Amino acid sequence: MFRMPQSPAALIIAAFLILDALIIVYTRTAGASLDSHQPIGGQLVMLALHTGLAWRIWHRSPVAWTILLALTSILTILILFGASWPWSPLVLGFAAMLAAQIALLLTPAIRHHLRQTRANHWVGSPSLHHSTL
């Protein structure tokens, strides 16, 4: 059985991915006018990409964190500047969910998780660099 790690970073990463799935549901239902021209496949590819990057963040990759933060920020900017003013509640809802994802990525728990080195994470485990012969 799968057990979710209980660290704050793990819960924040899970919340990010849940929001990602909710964004797809939102744009396909309430915000249907936002992505009516987009096939669902494109959104599922982005979900898979975000999931892969989140997995790398869990494994302490600052590069993955930077890419995911940049992708989410760029999408937020494109949504806000691509929509005509005044923004509809649908656009504002989409932008609010994206802003929540950005806020999750910028939390101290995620930044602290990324700063921990693999050596600190595996304290007490045998070194992979030394032979046990």
Q: By the 8 A CB rule, do 64 and 57 touch?
A: yes
* pLDDT band at residue 63 under the 50/70/90 scheme: very high
Domain of residue 30 covers: 8-116
Total domain count for the chain? Answer: 1
Listed residue (27, 4, 113, 7) closest to 65, CA to CA: 113
Domain assignment of residue 65, yes or no: yes
pLDDT given for residue 132 in this prediction: 45
pLDDT digits (tens, 9 = 90+) for 29-40: 765 555 556 677
Q: Which of 59-68, 85-94, 110-119, 122-131 has the lowest mean pLDDT?
A: 122-131
Domain assignment of residue 126, yes or no: no
